């Protein structure tokens, strides 16, 4: 039996320098992530220039560690895959440039990957994932999208956010409340600090934007503003006393909106299953309510483990498997597309077959 083929995947779309090694059969052999949280925390968010420089410093050792299951050798690596969008342009260029260098030095083909499609692949790679067609809820710091993943792997966009993404709203509310960066884990920690699920009445009721509209779009800017207005009306002692209730109320409203729109998408498409992917999918309350929705509707669902929800290289390598099989390679003219959309196909001149 011949040894399995391997794909090296690199992601530098935002502030995590990530590299993973995945076999063409879908087995994850390594998934190395270098976090930049400490560099960006003093600023309350990601500073693009710092992120790009940090990627350049981290990429050599992250790639080296990702290749360790193969002893650092390239003989069994069949392709180098890299995210080319969406994301921060400087961060994307750091990863693309490094991947091009690896491709040239090793003689392995280069494969360009859409970051959003990679998030979807973080679920599709699992044997527990429902069969296609299915509905995908992609929810992260920069994106909140509902899409139909079709039988052939294509995408039909069903809805997206009109303003802030859900994860962005988590970060902004956390900054408003002085909880630090990144906001998602900080909010989740306070919301769960009792160790027991909060009951209705133990949180502040905030609005669910666009919940009664027929379209499948989202809006989180109004929810963020509602939290700001509520906090503005409190004295410092009241704010401190009500902090947990405010945080729980925001988290409950944000996750509830996601489930309302997901339910609408499932009813409209009549698909027998769904996935939830992206950084916010690591949130325990979201995972709990998604499971309850699947049980209520008597359909299947899958959410990747938390380490595959946040940005990582394994999902990029997973997304490259089908492209490797078809010989859909990128040229060395591959560019960064910071505003790339799910399912979008850039200029054919950037790719070769």
| Whole-Å CA distances, 97 to 17, 80, 92, 168, 341 | 14, 12, 9, 28, 21
Using one digit for the tens of pLDDT, what is the confidence trace for 209-224? 888 777 899 999 999 9
- Is it true that 6-119+309-352 and 130-303 share their CATH fold? yes
Among the four given CATH numbers 3.40.50.720, 3.30.420.40, 3.40.50.300, 3.60.110.10, the one describing domain 130-303:
3.30.420.40
Residue with tokens 């960064």: 336
- Weakest mean pLDDT among 13-27, 173-187, 297-311: 173-187
pLDDT at 352 over 60: no
The predicted structure's pLDDT at residue 120? 96
The predicted structure's pLDDT at residue 348? 58
Beta strands in 246-299, from DSSP E residues, in sequence order: 273-277
Domain ranges of the chain: 6-119+309-352, 130-303
Among the four given CATH numbers 3.30.420.40, 1.10.490.10, 1.10.10.10, 1.10.150.20, the one describing domain 6-119+309-352:
3.30.420.40
Q: Which residue has the higher pLDDT, 232 or 141?
A: 232
pTM summary value: 0.92
Going by pLDDT thresholds of 50, 70 and 90, the confidence category of residue 198 is low
Handedness of CA 195, 201, 206, 211 (dihedral sign): positive
Mean predicted confidence (pLDDT) in 118-134: 95
Phi/psi for 15 (5° steps) reads: -120, 10
Q: What is the DSSP letter of 213?
A: S
- What is the SS3 assignment for 137? strand
pLDDT at 316 over 60: yes
The predicted structure's pLDDT at residue 290? 97
pLDDT at 21 over 70: yes
H/E element, 313: helix 313-319
Mean of the per-residue pLDDT values for the chain? 91
3-state helix, strand, coil in the chain (%, to 5): 45, 20, 35
- Weakest mean pLDDT among 8-22, 124-138, 185-199, 300-314: 185-199
Q: Which residue has the higher pLDDT, 137 or 345?
A: 137
Beta strands in the chain, from DSSP E residues, in sequence order: 6-11, 16-23, 28-35, 77-85, 110-114, 134-139, 144-149, 155-160, 273-277, 300-302, 329-330, 351-352
Angle at 143 between CA 169 and CA 152, to 5 degrees: 155
The predicted structure's pLDDT at residue 45? 83
The predicted structure's pLDDT at residue 4? 60
Going by pLDDT thresholds of 50, 70 and 90, the confidence category of residue 1 is very low
- What is the SS3 assignment for 118? helix
């Amino acid at each position: 039996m011949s040894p399995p083929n391997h794909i090296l995947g690199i992601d530098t779309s935002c502030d995590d320098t990530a590299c993973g090694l995945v076999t063409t059969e879908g087995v994850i052999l390594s998934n190395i992530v270098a976090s930049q949280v400490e560099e960006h925390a003093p600023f309350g968010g990601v500073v693009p220039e710092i992120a790009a420089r940090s990627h350049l410093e981290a990429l050599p050792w992250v790639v080296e560690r990702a290749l360790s299951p193969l002893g650092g050798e390239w003989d069994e690596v069949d392709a180098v895959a890299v995210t080319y969008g969406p994301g921060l342009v400087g961060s994307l260029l750091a990863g693309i440039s490094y991947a091009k260098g690896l491709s040239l030095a090793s003689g392995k083909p280069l494969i360009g990957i859409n970051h959003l499609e990679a998030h979807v692949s973080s679920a599709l790679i699992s044997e527990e994932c429902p069969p296609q067609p299915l509905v995908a809820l992609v929810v992260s710091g920069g994106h909140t999208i509902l899409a139909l993943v079709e039988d052939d792997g294509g995408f039909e966009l069903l809805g997206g956010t009109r303003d802030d993404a859900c994860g962005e709203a988590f970060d902004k509310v956390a900054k408003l409340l002085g909880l630090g960066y990144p906001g998602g884990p900080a909010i989740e920690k306070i919301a769960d600090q009792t160790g027991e699920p909060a009951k209705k009445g133990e949180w502040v009721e905030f609005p669910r934007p666009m919940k009664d509209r027929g379209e499948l779009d989202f809006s989180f800017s109004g929810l963020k503003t509602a939290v700001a207005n509520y906090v503005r009306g409190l004295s410092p002692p009241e704010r401190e006393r009500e902090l947990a209730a405010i945080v729980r109320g925001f988290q409950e409203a944000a996750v509830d909106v996601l489930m309302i729109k997901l339910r609408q998408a499932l009813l409209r498409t009549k698909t027998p299953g769904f996935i939830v992917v992206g950084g916010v999918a690591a949130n325990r309350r979201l995972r709990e309510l998604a499971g309850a929705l699947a049980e209520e509707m008597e359909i299947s669902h899958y959410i990747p483990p938390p380490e595959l929800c946040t940005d990582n290289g394994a999902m990029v390598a997973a997304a490259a498997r089908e492209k490797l099989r078809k010989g859909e390679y990128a040229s060395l003219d591959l560019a960064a597309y910071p505003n790339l959309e799910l399912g979008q196909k850039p200029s054919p001149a950037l790719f070769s077959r």
